[in-house]
Amino acid sequence: MRSPSILSVVMAAAIGTAAQEERITGELGDAQIVTGNPPGLVYEAVLPDDPWTSGLSMQGNVQGSILAASAPDGIGVHFRVRFANLPQDEGPLSYHLHAAPVPADGNCSQTLAHLDPYIRRGSPPCDPSAPETCEVGDLSGKHGLIDPSEVGDVFEAVYVDEYASLIEGEGAFFGNRSFVLHLASDLTRVSCANFVLRVDGSPDSPPSNCTGSMLPPPSSSSIALPSGVPGPTGVMPSSSPEPTGSLVPVPTAAGAVSAVPLTLLGVVAVVALFGM
Ligand SMILES: [Cu+2]
């Protein structure tokens, strides 16, 4: 019986072609896994006190932040996403890294579209089983929506996204950008926040090369934590703010801040915040 086998071959080829045609990816191809993210970097974006869109079913704003740290092996980025006071009546929420920062007036619409260096665009929705085909910034598309009917008041997720970059200058770098929290149903922008550098991993001074006699790198002046922002003490900032007088509880021999404790601080912060 030759004809059935020929038919099956033709059908298989047709199905294969159809499957290829259905695979949506970026105009520039699939997102590439990011390697070489500098160790010890920690960025955080904390939601403001007031929502951008009023009239939703929560008192005040959703509270919380996205914490992002370079993975120990440099491949991708560790994210810790924690939101509380979620609106309960508007269905699931989504969140994305967006291309532009939030301006000083807090206008979330000015953050533009998703971080999308491979020009994939948001529609149709991304397939989380093939994250390389998703927009880099579509974190909830790749790692799951927030469904208050399931999680209640508080959502928390910890994951590694292999396509996000903490290397300045790369298209997938988001340290100078923002995230936006949306209603998933119509993409209403609930709130948004900018990422800020919390711990500089001092890429010029990897831990294995630290002797204590090394001078702080030129970037060390930017390591100072913003005033009023709790230090990376391992306590979740949104729940238990620390007094600002104890921002950096790292003992240093001569009171001098060197590259060594700062690098260790980064490692400690990453371990403390992500080793849950
Ligand atoms: Cu978005």
Q: Residue range 55-72: average pLDDT?
A: 96
Residues facing 23 on adjacent strands: none
Per residue in 164-206, pLDDT (tens digit) is 999 999 999 999 999 999 999 999 999 999 999 999 876 454 4
273 pLDDT band, cuts 50/70/90, is low
Tell how far the Cα of 234 is from the centroid of ligand 1, in angstroms. 28
Tell how far the Cα of 138 is from the centroid of ligand 1, in angstroms. 7
Tell how far the Cα of 31 is from the centroid of ligand 1, in angstroms. 18
Per residue in 236-271, pLDDT (tens digit) is 333 333 333 333 333 333 333 333 344 444 444 444
23 pLDDT band, cuts 50/70/90, is confident
Tell how far the Cα of 180 is from the centroid of ligand 1, in angstroms. 5
Domain segments of the chain as ranges? 42-199, 226-274
Tell how far the Cα of 270 is from the centroid of ligand 1, in angstroms. 26
Tell how far the Cα of 253 is from the centroid of ligand 1, in angstroms. 46
Tokens encoding 30: 């699939």
* pLDDT score for 158: 98
Tell how far the Cα of 68 is from the centroid of ligand 1, in angstroms. 17
CA 147, 149, 152, 153 dihedral sign is: positive
Domain 42-199, CATH class in plain words: mainly beta
Q: Quick check: 92 pLDDT over 50?
A: yes
Tell how far the Cα of 176 is from the centroid of ligand 1, in angstroms. 16
At 97, give phi and psi (nearest 5°): -75, 130
* pLDDT score for 5: 56
Per residue in 107-139, pLDDT (tens digit) is 999 999 999 999 999 889 999 999 999 999 999
Tell how far the Cα of 61 is from the centroid of ligand 1, in angstroms. 17
Tell how far the Cα of 36 is from the centroid of ligand 1, in angstroms. 26
